[in-house]
Amino acid sequence: MEPDGARRVRVMSYNVRSLRDDRAAVARVIRACDPDVVCVQESPRYWKSEKAAAWLAHRTGMVILAGGGRVAAGPLLLGKLRVDVVELRDVLLPKTRGLHARGFASALLRIGGSRPFSVTSCHLSLQPEERLRQFELLRRHLRPGEPSVVAGDFNEPPEGPGWRAFAEELTDAHAKAPWGGTLTSVPALPYQRIDGVFATPDIDVLGCGVPYPLPGVSAEDLRAATDHLPVLAALRVPAP
């Protein structure tokens, strides 16, 4: 806690590709980043989804905060034991016929004596029109006057229309305080930043980017874990 009662919080976003690759490497990457909250995308959502989420939480020394089931449809929130859940807000999004079901893993959280703040993990559509609608639903999901963090795989670079419109209301954390690496998709699309962290203006962004090198984690681990790189943001949540 800082002198004015604010809290520094580390929020990580990570697409784990349904844990189809080296899941032990996924756990090593998360532990090395030492986040307070992890916004996971592509957590297994149908076959043994609860078991997979519990495995990941156990192997990273965290607990499940939200998501991880059919309502959130893939996104998951993990957190340290000191993170309290004030309210669950998981959302299943309207589904376009023939496309994947998608949702938000979302919760109102409090750490110590901090002001409650919402965190939402999302994984938006590959289809441009549906993705643009989901950006708008994401904006409406946030409650006015409430400190909020949104992190995920947006399947769109910062130049895209949805990202640009979203960044007009929320702070693109990496653009505000770049730190570490920038590119987040490997190895097939190595030149894209499609994963990110956004925060409402009442949350101070201290730094955000792809963390590397990580203690105890090799470049081979990062490639073996999944086809995305993690994004880590250091944020300052206001006092009550």
**What does the domain layout of the chain look like in residue ranges?**
7-237
Give the pLDDT score at 188: 56
Q: How much is the pTM?
A: 0.96
Distance CA 41, CA 123 (A): 6
pLDDT for position 189? 54
For residues 16 and 231, the answer to whether their CB atoms sit within 8 Å is no
In angstroms, the CA 139 to CA 142 distance is: 6
pLDDT along the chain (240 residues), means of 10: 87 96 97 98 79 94 90 92 97 89 96 93 96 98 98 97 98 97 74 93 98 94 94 96
User: How many whole angstroms separate alpha carbon 104 and alpha carbon 76?
Assistant: 8
How far is it, in rounded angstroms, from Cα 152 to Cα 234?
A: 15
Instruction: Name residues whose C-beta falls within 8 Å of residue 170's C-beta, 6 or more positions apart in sequence.
Output: 148, 150, 198, 199, 200, 201
Token pair recorded at residue 213: 């090198």
Angle CA 88–92–94, to nearest 5: 150
Considering Cα of 7, then 179, then 63, then 142, what sign does the dihedral take? positive
Under DSSP, the state recorded for 183 is -
Residue 44 pLDDT: 85
Are 224 and 29 spatial neighbours (Cβ–Cβ below 8 Å)?
no
Question: Is 7-237 a CATH 3.30.230.10 domain?
Answer: no
pLDDT, residue 45, reads 73
pLDDT at residue number 185: 79
Q: Burial level of 132, CB count in 10 A (0-12/13-18/19+)?
A: middle
42: left (phi over 0), alpha (psi -120 to 50) or beta: left
Note if the bond before 187 is cis, omega within 30 degrees.
yes
Cα R_g (the chain), whole angstroms:
16
Helix (H, G, I), strand (E, B) or coil at 126: coil
